[in-house]
Structure 1
Amino acid sequence: MSEPFNCDSCKESLYGRKYIQVDDVPRCVPCYDRLYANTCQECKELIEHNSRELYYEDRHYHEHCFRCSRCSCSLADEPFTYQEDALVCNNCYCNEFSSKCVACGKTVMPGSKQLEYGGCVWHEECFVCCGCEQPIGAQSFIPDKSKYYCVPCYEGRFSPRCAHCKQILVQGGVTYRDEPWHKECFLCTGCKVQLAGQPFTTQGEDPYCVKCFSNLYAQKCSACDKPITGFGEGKYISFEERQWHQPCFKCSECSVSLVGAGFFPDGTKILCKSCNAK
């Protein structure tokens, strides 16, 4: 007579039946499932010994229960995430939570190349210059309201041009007669020295440095014979086709200032009242 070969739990004979041995202890399949099988997180039923079991974050699932909570596709061999206590496939997660490209309206997939500016997101290939329509990529760009331009296109369309050379004025420069000039283009008409940052005057529409204007156009002081330019010497005094720097307008005899006082011409001289009475 053969020895008994029974399930350690229910004591039923295992002869002619499928069994599972755990730590050298045999158990029938129903007892094994009852004692050792995990409960599926989704359907709450036991995951039997012959079912494929998937495990994630201390939770167990039947293979057919491990699916996206949005579209119900299987996640067994697909990338997924856990969002608000629910499994979500990569496509559903991106459609629901990822940013949309403001140019094409499509989802910007995680890990893909993208550009962000002003709270908006673009695919790298969708962020293009409104001028040349070429992708801007990592280049510098200039926003203009809701449009974006690469630097060459923006300068070509909007930057001022020098009144002299007609080239784009990128930065700096000077304004003369309400027109922009490069500093290196704004020159004295006479000696061609740069006028930016120094006093200058004009003759007609032409700018001149003080020295050239003095030599070419300024009247000479009748006392010191130096040019009267209006720079440095302040006001000047004019009398009968003669001019004087204000400090030079003095009595020819006693050198007292005649500014604001009566004077008497005497040939090429000018005299104060006292010297004229002598």
Structure 2
Amino acid sequence: MSSTIDGQPLRWRGDTFHPYHFNCASCGSELTADAREVKSRPGYTANDMNELYCLRCHDKMGIPICGACRRPIEERVVTALGKHWHVEHFVCAKCEKPFMGNHHYERKGLAYCETHYHELFGNLCFICNTVIYGDVVTALNKAWCQHHFACATCDTKMTQKTKFFEFDQKPSTSR
């Protein structure tokens, strides 16, 4: 016979229960709805030794908590931005796609994929106004793509080492 669960139920192995029917596997205290399930322990396979712990005992176990979902991480862990993450929860702050082991860029406590990092924080070419990937030519407090850095008067391609003068806030090889 089942009875109605008043308050928050305890979810364990896909079912819901009255929390007071369970005790912490470590300290023996009666559990509440915020009990944590540890799916496997050293020497056991997953689901061979599922146990429930009160929050206090669970925290003492040192199992990392995901910075996104606030649930325990019992498989692969990503450590970044001073937090731990489930692999699928460590995502770009702009597009929300998981990095899944790919490189990420950090800015002001957030992680970005390469595309969105450059889009939001990268150098824009003074001529074409697009994000510059690769080498940036910086001169006259402006940034250029390598192939757009040219003399403003004769359109000759220049490099960082080319001598030039400022003409109308643009580089020029002649006076």
The 2-side partners of 1:202 and 1:89 are apart by: 72
Matches within 5 A, 1:231-270: none
The 2-side partners of 1:132 and 1:195 are apart by: 35
Could you tell me the TM-score, scaled by structure 1's length?
Answer: 0.41
What is the DSSP-based 3-state SS (H/G/I as helix, E as strand, rest coil) of the residue aligned with 1:184? helix
Partner of 1:200: 164
Partner of 1:68: 25
Tell me, yes or no, if structure 1 residue 172 matches structure 2 residue 139. no
- Structure number with greater CO (CA < 8 Å, separation at least 6) is 2
Tell me which of 87, 109, 117 is aligned to 1:124: 87
Aligned residues: 133
Q: Is the 8 A contact 2:92 2:98 kept in 1?
A: yes
Partner of 2:119: 156
With over 3 angstroms needed to count, the CA separation of the structure-2 counterparts of 1:191 and 1:103, relative to structure 1, is closer
The 1-side partners of 2:156 and 2:172 are apart by: 9
The 1-side partners of 2:53 and 2:163 are apart by: 70
Matches within 5 A, 1:36-51: none
Q: Is the 8 A contact 2:81 2:110 kept in 1?
A: no
Could you tell me the TM-score, scaled by structure 2's length?
Answer: 0.62
The 1-side partners of 2:114 and 2:166 are apart by: 36
Matches within 5 A, 1:14-93: 68-71=25-28, 90-92=51-53
Q: Is the 8 A contact 1:163 1:180 kept in 2?
A: yes
Unaligned runs of 5+ in 1: 1-66, 73-77, 83-87, 218-278
Per-residue CA deviations over 1:149-202 (Å, capped at 9, x if unaligned) read: 111111111112000121212343233332211232111231523242121124
Q: Is the 8 A contact 1:81 1:90 kept in 2?
A: no
What is the DSSP-based 3-state SS (H/G/I as helix, E as strand, rest coil) of the residue aligned with 1:139? coil
Partner of 2:107: 144
Tell me which of 83, 101, 104 is aligned to 2:66: 101
Unaligned runs of 5+ in 2: 1-23, 30-38, 44-48
Q: Is the 8 A contact 1:103 1:126 kept in 2?
A: yes
Sequence identity percentage:
23
Amino acid at match of 1:190: C
Q: Is the 8 A contact 1:124 1:135 kept in 2?
A: yes
The 2-side partners of 1:198 and 1:191 are apart by: 13
With over 3 angstroms needed to count, the CA separation of the structure-2 counterparts of 1:204 and 1:143, relative to structure 1, is closer
